Amino acid sequence: MRKLILLATMALAAAVMPSALASAAPAPAQAISAQTASAAAPASVEAGPTAAQLLAKTNSCTQISNGKYKTDEDVSAKTVAVCDANGAVFWKADMDIDCDGQRTTQCNEDTDCCYQDDTAFHQSDGKPLSAAKLPYIVVPSSSSIWKYTSSQLKGGGSCAVIYNGKIEYAVIGDTGPTQIIGEASYATAKDLGINPDPSNGGTDSGVTYICFKNSTVSPIENHANAISKGESLATTFVNNN
């Protein structure tokens, strides 16, 4: 019965006001169409290159280090060279876990035998970095082998870390021994799918570190900024090498 009454009402309205209905119908349709088109239009998102694209630019090495580095304290072989490229330097090594900086559940004296409550570079508020939260890498302290500052690198500099097809955009956050290379924070390892435990984690090989010259992530602790800047610099690196 309600359907019959509704149909009768609609018929009467159509007979009385056909021109009004005809002219009114397209306007809502156009409005809806415009809203739908606006909502459907994807936002412009800038994305960096793939891991494969970055690795393809590191197949050959123009060595700038004066000799090579060890990957660990307990090995004698020096196998890792620092290589120069247009706009960046890179090296291929292992990954040891750095848990220094702010004391957290993951990083403290109990979890890491060699824990230190400071990092070479600090947050914008003056506090040490947090290895458990911030993806950062460790560069060797300056020595006769290589001075990272001579390659236009500095604390807070942007780096791409590649492992097993994944890319982590990190910052230069700490310095390490003068003879050893291949170390990154707990957070870096975790994001790349590497065991981040400072006592038994890390990986023995397969990690590529690409650090971009004259770059700075500000503030150093803002990982979203590190990703944005890293993607942009990585794109330039691929295009220029």
Q: Is the pLDDT of residue 122 over 50?
A: yes
By DSSP bridging, strand 136-140 and strand 158-163 are unpaired
Measured CA to CA, the distance from residue 63 to residue 111 in angstroms comes to 37
Q: Is the pLDDT of residue 209 over 90?
A: yes
| Segments of the chain assigned E as strands | 62-63, 83-85, 88-98, 136-140, 158-163, 166-176, 183-185, 203-212
Q: How confident is the model at residue 10 (pLDDT cuts 50, 70, 90)?
A: very low
Q: Is the pLDDT of residue 11 over 90?
A: no
Nearest Cα neighbor of 95 from 192, 171, 3 is: 192
pLDDT at 46: 53
Instruction: Tell me if residue 130 falls in helix, strand or coil.
Output: strand
Asked if residue 134 lies in contact with residue 99, where contact means CB atoms within 8 angstroms, the answer is no
pLDDT at 222: 98
Backbone dihedral angles phi then psi of residue 6, each to the nearest 5 degrees: -65, -45
pLDDT digits (tens, 9 = 90+) for 129-162: 999 999 999 999 999 999 999 999 999 999 999 9
pLDDT digits (tens, 9 = 90+) for 88-104: 999 999 999 999 999 99
pLDDT digits (tens, 9 = 90+) for 220-238: 999 999 999 999 999 999 9
DSSP state of 43: P
Mean pLDDT, residues 188-214: 97
Task: Please compute Rg for the chain using Cα positions.
Answer: 28
Q: Is the pLDDT of residue 57 over 70?
A: yes
Measured CA to CA, the distance from residue 214 to residue 78 in angstroms comes to 28
Write b or e for each residue in 188-217: b if 16 or more Cβ atoms lie within 10 A of its Cβ, otherwise e.
Answer: bbbbbebebbbeebbbeeebbbbbbbebbb
Mean pLDDT, residues 63-92: 96
pLDDT at 47: 83
Q: How many C-beta neighbours within 10 Å does residue 176 have?
A: 18
Q: Is the pLDDT of residue 48 over 70?
A: yes
Distances in whole angstroms, Cα of residue 63 to Cα of each of 83, 131, 149:
4, 30, 16
Query: For 33-37, 44-48, 170-174, 183-187, which range has the lowest pLDDT when averaged over its residues?
Result: 33-37
Beta partners for 223?
A: none
Q: How many C-beta neighbours within 10 Å does residue 78 have?
A: 16
pLDDT, the chain, mean: 86
Mean pLDDT, residues 54-58: 98
